[in-house]
Amino acid sequence: MIVKFQRGETIPVWVEVQDWDDAYVDPTAVKVTIIDSKGVVKVNAAAMTKDAIGKYVYYYNSVATDETGWWRASADIIDGVGAGAKVTITPGGFNLE
């Protein structure tokens, strides 16, 4: 399913974090990167806001001059700190019209 938004809308980017047994869990950090259809980074590793256990959101405020087309969003889910930290990258995206 392609998620579509209009330029000027606020776009929610959601991430759900689950453990190996499908239980929702909270990692150390969740950071989002958003790249427009021309490959320009619009949001670089911004912290996402916790909505509930294991559920995080970032609201991107698009503007009328943003590029149209397919935008990529990816979340880095970080569990642990320092050299022992584990990072899982979750890809996604949306279409801006």
Domains and CATH numbers, the chain: 4-96 (2.60.40.10)
Tokens of residue 56, six digits: 């995080």
- pLDDT of res. 1: 58
- Reduced to 3 states (helix: H, G, I; strand: E, B; else coil), residue 61 is strand
Tokens of residue 85, six digits: 């930290």
- pLDDT of res. 89: 86
Q: What is the pLDDT along the chain (97 residues), one digit of tens a residue?
A: 568 999 999 999 999 998 888 889 999 999 999 999 999 999 999 999 999 999 999 999 999 999 999 999 999 999 877 777 788 888 899 999 9
The DSSP result for 9-50, as a single string, is: SEEEEEEE-B-TTS-B---SEEEEEEE-TTS-EEEEEEEPEE
- pLDDT of res. 20: 81
For the question of whether the overall pTM of this predicted structure is more than 0.85, the answer is yes
